[in-house]
Structure 1
Amino acid sequence: MVLKVRFFLGAVLTHTSLAYANANSFSLDEDSIPTIAPVAALDTSALQKDADLFLSVFVNQYPSRDLIRIKTDGQGQFSISGTDLRALRLKIDASVSDTQWVSLKELPWLNYTYDLANQTLSLNVPLTYLTRYAVELGTPKADTSQLDSQSFNANIFNYNFYQNYSRDKKYSSLNGQLMINQSWGSLSHQFLYNNEEKTTQFNEKFVRLSTTWRYVDPIQIRSYTLGDFVSNSAQWNTSVRLLGLQWASAYEQRSDLVTTASPEFSGSATLPSTLDLYVNQQKIYSGSIPSGPFDVKTLPFISGNQVTLVTTDINGQQVVSTKPYYTSVKILQKGIKQFSVDLGTPRFNYALRSNDYASQLLFSSSSIRYGLTPQITVDGGVEASSNGLLNLGMGATRNVFDRGILSVDLAASQYRGKQGTLASTALELNVSSKLNMNFSLLNSFDGYFNLARVSDHYYATHYANTNELSSIDTTSSAKQVFRLGANYQFTPSTGMYAGYNSVVTPNSRYKQATLNLATSINQRWGVFFSAYQDLINRKSYGAYLTLRYTPKSSPLNVSTMAGLDNGNVSKQLDIASASTQSLGSLGWGVTASQNQATQGGSGYLNYVDRYAYLSARYSHSNDLKQLGLSASGSLVFAENRFFATNQVGDGYALVTNAGPKTKIINGGVSLGETDAKGRFFIPDLTPYRTHTIYANPQDLPLDWRIDSTEKKLATGYKKGAHIDFGARKVISAIVHLVNSSHVDLGAGYIVTINGKEQSVLGYGGEVFVDGLLEHNTVVVDLLDHGQCKAQFDYHGKASGIEKIGPFVCQ
């Protein structure tokens, strides 16, 4: 037989006409092919009146992510809202509001085609009328809107305990931190206890290190501190310890926010293309881009490299561009403002005395850094004291052609009739792909003072019994600091660094040259060489040669070192297991050393437990032998329960309802097992980062069910988050159902248990039922025969699965 098969092209509507293609046909001589009825004509009557369409929109052949709402009128014209046009990257007048509808005929540079059969609208847009497409490579910001609802209060005690034994004495030490973390902030108290007999004037066994309250506002990115803290000085000055108040930006706590200016690379694609991004010939990104101009933003933080962009369009044509790439934490993104306002009284003898404050002195400082442009960051700072200091400074840092950065700082001070100035400059330069150089010079003139130097002067007059500041040699009193260094990479596995450092203080001069060489012969062998020469005291010099070996089939690190330090020859051999911090891991190492005066050795064992990090170390040097035992961890009271865990960091989480003995996993690393009630405390999470926590149900008993095995969460600074996996113990049984004639119900019917759970009836009228209650109702959908219902009570065993019934369903 001869079959007539007709093919119809879909109706196509343009902004000028609605056209139909003629039907074409041909014949097939195939008796086995059934007759196909002609396709009905497409109904286009809807286009002759007002209507709302939801279409896939293509801009220069690149599809939109979502369906776009489009209005049509009786004349067949199409209108799109301002917000959707901007989302499609079309340049429209700024006066057009997001809710205003724009007729496509009002855009003379635009051509469009409507495909009724495929429900698509294709826009042909000149590239000059497309806004720039942003390729974001950075980590998305954490959602802070749910942090308060997820957080819980916790009392935390972090500890580091150390016990030492030797032939002549033994002593204990404890470094502790007590934290009370609430919605109103975090109250922290740190202390140090050491019962070793002291031979100095500082013989306190118990020393308070700090007491601080801090609140971080993640929305405004501000932190408020009351108590002990370290001031945030401008980069040309030196920080001091204060007791008082601090108001500052909180970018350090918001680690999900990138403040460093990242170079943006731009390009343009005539057609939809694939973009490949390479840093030092290593691909770090691949993705599709639409036609038109595009910007690559938030590149990885790697300095001194070259970036290669490769665009490949849908026709296979490639465009390759290579540019230098240099970033530094000294250059902020445009508009980023980092600041700190500090007010307090200075502290002395930290970690030696608990409350050694200069109560008659008041220090204040303010500093600010602002990203003026993506290439320029400006700085400013003011410092003052109640005994007469006034210090003003300003500076600027600039990106130099994406090859490096140049910074210049100037400051002036007045203190007790003395006036002084400070000038500093620094340069980091990527000369080539192999050579990097750095240079810095700081000079202070006349009687330059800042808060750190005023603090040193106070210490000299009240503790050192002298009025001469020059008798206290500190970095804050340096008159000149000069540094010069160069790093050259011969091959990817061989590099060299040469450096020169000079520090001139009122009391001394220090000049030193250093040289470092490193090479990897292969994956198992490496050689390191370092040397230094004091250029003031020519007799002070040293050189060290280290050979490293990593066996191929053993997780060991072996290294041997020979050194010469001021004429003293030393040798050392180290053998250690590969470093790991995974739960249950055991680390060990042994060392043997010898020089002209001593001969000795040491060994250690480390064990990572869920509840603490344990370590033991034994050492001997000539006749001195020592044994040290240490433990570090945390005790937590949260949700009316105590937890013992490893040290708690800035963020943490409490897992509940995960089922007994369930493995908790974060980032592919097993953190441990839940307790008998399905609870687990995760001690260390990075705040404001999205974490994915898994509960492995592999070892759950058969009578347990879990709602979800994956949860995403973010914690606040010094705050925790709840994770509820919804695991629960269910009573299950195999229920036997029969009809009113006591005949087994047929297989395949849908069964609803207690109005919630659903299951499928199996052969022999049996169905597996989860979540049995004391009183139960089962409804069976019999399709054309309606429904039947069975009710029964169950008081069986709470674990295991048994067969019950038969029960009549009618």
Structure 2
Amino acid sequence: MRLLSRRLGGRRGFTLVFIFALLGMVLCAGRSRAGENQTNLQLDVVINSVPARTIGSFVRFDDGRIGGTLEELESLGLQPGPSHRPGEIIALDDIPTLRYRYEERTQRIFIAVDEAGRKPQLFDAGGSSGNLPKARADPGAVLNYDLLSSTSNAATPRLIGLGNTSLLLDARAFSPYGTAEQSAIVRTGPQQPAQATRLNSSFQYSDPGRMISYVAGDTINGGLAWSRPVRIGGLQAQRDFTLRPDLITAPLATIGGSAAVPSTVDVYVNNIKTFSQDVASGPFSVNNVPLISGAGTTQLVVRDSAGHEIQTSAPFYATSSLLAPGLSSWSVEGGLPRLSYGSSSDVYVGSPVGSATLRRGIYDGLTAEAHVEGGAGVINGGIGGTFRTGTIGVAAVALAGSGSGTNRGLQSYASYETRLFGVSISASSQHTLGTYDDLASATAKLQNIVTLNGGLQNLNGLFNYLPGSISSLSNSFAYVTGIYGSARAPVALDRITFSAPMPFDPRASLSASLVGLRDDAGNRSNIVTASYSRSLPYNASIFSTVFHDFGTKKNTGIFAGLSIPFGDSASITTGVSSGRTGTTGSVDAVKSLGPEPGSYGWRVHDSEGASSYREATASYRSSYGTIQAGASQAGAGSVGSLELRGSITTMGGGVFLSNWIDDSFAVVATGVPDVEVLSENRRAGVTDSRGMLLIPTLRSYQKNKIAIDPTNLPVDDEAATTHDIVAPADRAGSLIRFDVRKETTAALVTFIGPDNRVLPAGAVGHMTGGVEFVVGYDGQAYIKGLSSLNEAEIEFADARCRATFAFIPRPGEQVRIPGVVCQ
């Protein structure tokens, strides 16, 4: 043992001596290199016989070798290798793929290097992202309303009497801390008291930086193509890509090549130019090429100054169902299930449920996904993935399982979409095995308790609650009839769709689909549909559709028609349909209502045959809302209707009437009436008597350019700025203030010299108070901050003079002071 220890100790000592010797050699070599004399050179660079058009910083060692820092060589497009440190001086002789020649007389260096030694030039075809202005939500509130009233004679000879009236209300209040929303519908009718039905109550806060939205209140849980969402009242947090509209979530293409000489690179996607860039000689790469969904071809064109072109093409298949690598989409929520939404039986059930969903891009061609949910006596979970099959299509597969008491079940899902030989094909198949349950079917069982127990507890007349002690009895009741008769996921749901242009007629297209459905109650539907359409001269078109159901309800139908547009937004459509109830012919003439105030629209419809129906409506959109009136007749009965739709908005101390506000808006405040306001360089209106204007159609979380036209301002008014870029938050508003103020201490002064000639343009002057001004044409200068008596000193062409003048303000007028002598 002692002998072995000595031997090991000897080996260890030898190893340490060797390591120290090696370190010493390295340090000595480093000192030797550091001690070499170096001469700094600034050289004109020529790479592969092409001038780089730049001056490079190099050093020359005593032995004649030339080198440069890692950063300098990379800036010249060279790639020394990965084993070098920042700031290190690298001898060009040590780069295996590089040769050079130094021409001392002309102070140039000629470098020859192959493609492996060149650093690719990187370009981004997707444009810059993350440069959006910070989203704003100034305090305010919006009340959208839609009032619909109808009258009818109910197919009797009586005079038209009062029918039903409904009022849809959508209110929201917002601030930088979030948006509170409440919607409801109020109904009334003959001999029927007014009844209010609450729809949604929620509070939402969004974090654009992290792309996360938080919701408290009514919401719908997240899901995937193979899951079924449900309504709940509770809490939700989710990834929200709409907070970053500049972010492209799908994987984008990267294409590249090499230019022998400085050239122009053009990128085409399906023969449409999407990117152009001048490149230096050497390799290059274009990242984030935006693609069109579906199959297509990218083309790269490299063109030099002599017009020589090199073209390369590559097929692709793009889809929004894939996520870019490293990008995640998720949703987590929990709360009480909500049943019978929008009806008088609307109720929250005291049986908490929760769910979580995740999708993540693994790499360009694969996105993984998972979903889990539980509560109301069921637990369900599954995993899946979406993957690209080369350049011809995208496939998705998933498998989910459930457990509910002693019941177990599985659900499989598969889909594929592709485009082959000009034919677009989309297919999907979903099947269940055993007793498969999810939150949708489990909460549908709870509807029995609402119907059979009458155990609702009413809170303030708007919120109905069913205690959990009652809801736990749901398993002892069978499914109720109606829409809840087959609440479980379909036992089988298979779909396939084909669409393609006609090979012998490029103006015509044909599509066909097959849907096979078998629900949990044993009902079957096997529906085949085929459609044909063809464009005609003058933008007219013909179309036809035929379907047949081979399932339980066997039915066949056909519809064919002709559409002829006239004008910019009007069209006439005629058609004939035939089905189990008979044959009906129809004529429909429509003029669409435009989005701008002052537009109008109308519709006239007539159907005759197996069923007769006639209708006529007219609508008008103003700056304060939209009105629509109509009348219809079916058989011997007739109905008249009147609809008013708009919004009431308050912000910045003002109240505004406008059209329905779906998204974001802005209130412009100038403090001056009759100022023209522009939105994206289009006229949005003029300010009212308070100097305010509501712009109801902005894009949330995107750049919106708002400007005012200063030509309508009074001559003594001055705006600090005439435009602003704003990005309102979702369903919120921004208050844009243009600082328009009175300028009553300014005048347009004309300066002349002792010879009675105007001073030259460009002369610079200073007031005694320190205000600087510049003399323009005709000796005129616009000067602010004037007092009753003023003194100015002006310099021009190596000369200097002084001038004194009086000033008397005249509100509402441009004060002009002519003939001020400067001497």
Output the TM-score relative to the length of structure 1: 0.82
Query: Is the contact made by 1:58 and 1:120 (CA closer than 8 Å) also made in structure 2?
Result: no
SS in 2 for 1:147: coil
Query: Is the contact made by 1:262 and 1:301 (CA closer than 8 Å) also made in structure 2?
Result: no
Q: Percent of pairs identical after alignment?
A: 21
Give the corresponding residue for 2:9: none
Counterpart CA distance in 1 for 2:815 and 2:686 is: 29
SS in 1 for 2:418: strand
Name which of 479, 491, 498 aligns with 1:479. Answer: 491
Give the corresponding residue for 2:21: none
Name which of 564, 571, 589 aligns with 1:557. Answer: 571
* Equivalent AA in structure 2 for residue 584 of structure 1: G
Query: Is the contact made by 2:129 and 2:246 (CA closer than 8 Å) also made in structure 1?
Result: yes
Name which of 370, 374, 380 aligns with 1:384. Answer: 374
Stretch deviating more after TM superposition (496-505 or 693-702): 693-702
Q: Residues 61 and 302 (structure 1 numbering): CA distance in 2 closer, same or farther, change over 3 Å?
A: farther
Give the corresponding residue for 1:13: none
Give the corresponding residue for 2:138: 152
What pairs with 1:254-333 in structure 2 (closer than 5 Å)?
Answer: 254-290=244-280, 291-333=282-324
Give the corresponding residue for 1:35: none
Counterpart CA distance in 1 for 2:552 and 2:284 is: 61
Give the corresponding residue for 1:525: 540
Give the corresponding residue for 1:339: 330
Counterpart CA distance in 1 for 2:58 and 2:733 is: 48
Per the TM alignment, residue 529 of structure 1 is displaced from its structure 2 partner at its CA by 0.9
Counterpart CA distance in 1 for 2:94 and 2:678 is: 54
Query: Is the contact made by 2:525 and 2:552 (CA closer than 8 Å) also made in structure 1?
Result: no
Name which of 623, 626, 634 aligns with 1:613. Answer: 626
Query: Is the contact made by 1:473 and 1:505 (CA closer than 8 Å) also made in structure 2?
Result: no
Give the corresponding residue for 1:207: 197
Per the TM alignment, residue 243 of structure 1 is displaced from its structure 2 partner at its CA by 0.9
SS in 2 for 1:675: coil
- Map Cα deviations across residues 188-223 of structure 1 (whole Å, 9 max, x no partner): 222222223699xxx972112121111111122222
Per the TM alignment, residue 560 of structure 1 is displaced from its structure 2 partner at its CA by 1.3
Per the TM alignment, residue 526 of structure 1 is displaced from its structure 2 partner at its CA by 0.9
SS in 1 for 2:798: helix
* Equivalent AA in structure 1 for residue 149 of structure 2: Q
What pairs with 1:86-125 in structure 2 (closer than 5 Å)?
Answer: 90-94=78-82, 100=87, 102=89, 105=92, 108=95, 109=97, 125=113
Counterpart CA distance in 2 for 1:329 and 1:320 is: 28
* Equivalent AA in structure 1 for residue 220 of structure 2: V
Counterpart CA distance in 1 for 2:107 and 2:743 is: 49
* Equivalent AA in structure 2 for residue 147 of structure 1: K
* Equivalent AA in structure 2 for residue 234 of structure 1: L
Q: Residues 498 and 115 (structure 1 numbering): CA distance in 2 closer, same or farther, change over 3 Å?
A: farther
Counterpart CA distance in 2 for 1:118 and 1:585 is: 73
Name which of 655, 668, 671 aligns with 2:668. Answer: 655
Counterpart CA distance in 2 for 1:440 and 1:340 is: 24
SS in 2 for 1:335: coil
What pairs with 1:526-541 in structure 2 (closer than 5 Å)?
Answer: 526-536=541-551, 540-541=555-556
Query: Is the contact made by 2:444 and 2:487 (CA closer than 8 Å) also made in structure 1?
Result: no
Give the corresponding residue for 1:442: 430
Q: Residues 128 and 279 (structure 1 numbering): CA distance in 2 closer, same or farther, change over 3 Å?
A: same
SS in 2 for 1:195: strand
- Map Cα deviations across residues 170-197 of structure 1 (whole Å, 9 max, x no partner): 4432222222222222222222222236
- Map Cα deviations across residues 693-752 of structure 1 (whole Å, 9 max, x no partner): 44445555555555555543433434544545555554564435466x795654546364
- Map Cα deviations across residues 386-426 of structure 1 (whole Å, 9 max, x no partner): x4312121111111112111111101111011011111111
How many corresponding residue pairs? Answer: 745
SS in 1 for 2:364: coil
- Map Cα deviations across residues 267-324 of structure 1 (whole Å, 9 max, x no partner): 3433333233333333333333343042342423321223333222344332323332
Q: Residues 105 and 308 (structure 1 numbering): CA distance in 2 closer, same or farther, change over 3 Å?
A: closer
What pairs with 1:322-471 in structure 2 (closer than 5 Å)?
Answer: 322-353=313-344, 356-359=347-350, 361-385=351-375, 387-432=376-421, 434-463=422-451, 467-469=477-479, 471=481
Q: Residues 520 and 750 (structure 1 numbering): CA distance in 2 closer, same or farther, change over 3 Å?
A: same
Query: Is the contact made by 2:165 and 2:187 (CA closer than 8 Å) also made in structure 1?
Result: yes
What pairs with 1:133-172 in structure 2 (closer than 5 Å)?
Answer: 133-138=121-126, 140-143=128-131, 147=134, 151-166=137-152, 167-172=160-165
- Map Cα deviations across residues 629-679 of structure 1 (whole Å, 9 max, x no partner): 333333222223333333334433343449653443344543323335654
Per the TM alignment, residue 470 of structure 1 is displaced from its structure 2 partner at its CA by 7.8
Query: Is the contact made by 1:779 and 1:790 (CA closer than 8 Å) also made in structure 2?
Result: no
- Map Cα deviations across residues 420-466 of structure 1 (whole Å, 9 max, x no partner): 1111111111112x201111110011111111110112224542689
Name which of 169, 173, 176 aligns with 1:180. Answer: 173
Counterpart CA distance in 1 for 2:88 and 2:226 is: 56
SS in 2 for 1:256: coil
Query: Is the contact made by 1:204 and 1:353 (CA closer than 8 Å) also made in structure 2?
Result: no
* Equivalent AA in structure 1 for residue 397 of structure 2: V
Per the TM alignment, residue 131 of structure 1 is displaced from its structure 2 partner at its CA by 4.1
SS in 1 for 2:325: coil
Counterpart CA distance in 2 for 1:554 and 1:371 is: 44
- Map Cα deviations across residues 77-110 of structure 1 (whole Å, 9 max, x no partner): 9987766765665435556566x36557476355
SS in 2 for 1:647: coil
SS in 1 for 2:697: coil
Counterpart CA distance in 1 for 2:625 and 2:73 is: 57
Per the TM alignment, residue 572 of structure 1 is displaced from its structure 2 partner at its CA by 1.8
SS in 2 for 1:364: strand
* Equivalent AA in structure 2 for residue 306 of structure 1: T
Stretch deviating more after TM superposition (399-408 or 670-679): 670-679
Q: Which has the higher helix share?
A: 2
Stretch deviating more after TM superposition (315-324 or 175-184): 315-324
* Equivalent AA in structure 2 for residue 183 of structure 1: P
Q: Residues 105 and 554 (structure 1 numbering): CA distance in 2 closer, same or farther, change over 3 Å?
A: closer
Query: Is the contact made by 1:593 and 1:601 (CA closer than 8 Å) also made in structure 2?
Result: no
SS in 2 for 1:205: strand
Stretch deviating more after TM superposition (150-159 or 518-527): 150-159
Name which of 577, 581, 590 aligns with 2:604. Answer: 590
- Map Cα deviations across residues 3-45 of structure 1 (whole Å, 9 max, x no partner): xxxxxxxxxxxxxxxxxxxxxxxxxxxxxxxxxxxxxxxxxxx
Stretch deviating more after TM superposition (463-472 or 367-376): 463-472
Query: Is the contact made by 1:70 and 1:78 (CA closer than 8 Å) also made in structure 2?
Result: no
Per the TM alignment, residue 369 of structure 1 is displaced from its structure 2 partner at its CA by 0.7
Counterpart CA distance in 2 for 1:245 and 1:168 is: 46
Counterpart CA distance in 2 for 1:339 and 1:373 is: 17
Per the TM alignment, residue 801 of structure 1 is displaced from its structure 2 partner at its CA by 3.5
Is 1:192 paired with 2:185? yes
Counterpart CA distance in 2 for 1:106 and 1:370 is: 47
Counterpart CA distance in 2 for 1:663 and 1:657 is: 10
Counterpart CA distance in 1 for 2:657 and 2:110 is: 62
SS in 2 for 1:452: helix
SS in 2 for 1:799: coil
* Equivalent AA in structure 2 for residue 451 of structure 1: L
Counterpart CA distance in 1 for 2:324 and 2:344 is: 42
Give the corresponding residue for 2:650: 637
Is 1:516 paired with 2:524? no
Q: Residues 804 and 289 (structure 1 numbering): CA distance in 2 closer, same or farther, change over 3 Å?
A: closer
Q: Residues 748 and 485 (structure 1 numbering): CA distance in 2 closer, same or farther, change over 3 Å?
A: closer
- Map Cα deviations across residues 782-807 of structure 1 (whole Å, 9 max, x no partner): 443323142533222x2233543655
Counterpart CA distance in 2 for 1:635 and 1:395 is: 46
Query: Is the contact made by 1:142 and 1:690 (CA closer than 8 Å) also made in structure 2?
Result: no
Q: Residues 63 and 649 (structure 1 numbering): CA distance in 2 closer, same or farther, change over 3 Å?
A: farther
Counterpart CA distance in 1 for 2:175 and 2:607 is: 50
Counterpart CA distance in 1 for 2:561 and 2:206 is: 46
Output the TM-score relative to the length of structure 2: 0.81
